[in-house]
Amino acid sequence: ELKVEQNPLFLSMQEGKNYTIYCNYSTTSDRLYWYRQDPGKSLESLFVLLSNGAVKQEGRLMASLDTKARLSTLHITAAVHDLSATYFCAVVLIYVNQFYFGTGTSLTVIP
């Protein structure tokens, strides 16, 4: 059974600081996704990472993928309050059209 673990589960950080969220998964996958969820809202796709060493950046968020280590990171640079949300990574198994979600990281950015 595929397991997807994120850490930390909860993150409180001050505006302007940097931090990294980690996503580990237990079996070989050919793609990894990062989603954002605001309270009471649905999931919004942020990044799709398809290959080892892939790096994607959008604003203050940067995601990377190391398929050998089965690890993805979501790095937050100079956090702002608008980034407060829950972030999920999701892994898709090779040849299976199915998304497996991590436990989520609840991020709160404090002014």
CB of 17 to other proteins, least distance (A): 24
Residue 71 makes contact with other proteins by CB under 8 A = no
Shortest Cβ 15–other proteins spacing (Å): 24
Exactly one of 17, 26, 50, 53 binds other proteins (CB under 8 A); that residue is 50
Phi, psi of 54 (to 5 degrees): -65, 140
Surface-to-core class of residue 20, CB atoms within 10 Å of its CB (0-12 exposed, 13-18 middle, 19+ buried):
middle
Query: Which residue type does 73 have?
Result: T
Query: Is 93 an interacting residue with respect to other proteins (CB under 8 A)?
Result: no
Q: How far is the CB of 70 from other proteins (least distance, A)?
A: 17
**Binding to other proteins by residue 42, rule CB under 8 A?**
yes
What sign results for the dihedral spanned by CA atoms 74, 20, 17, 84? positive
Q: Which residues contact 43 (CB under 8 A, 6 or more apart)?
A: 35, 36, 37, 88
Q: Which of 63, 76, 85, 90 binds other proteins (CB under 8 A)?
A: 90
**Contacting residues toward other proteins, per CB under 8 A:** 4, 30-31, 33, 41-45, 48, 50, 88, 90, 92, 97-104, 106
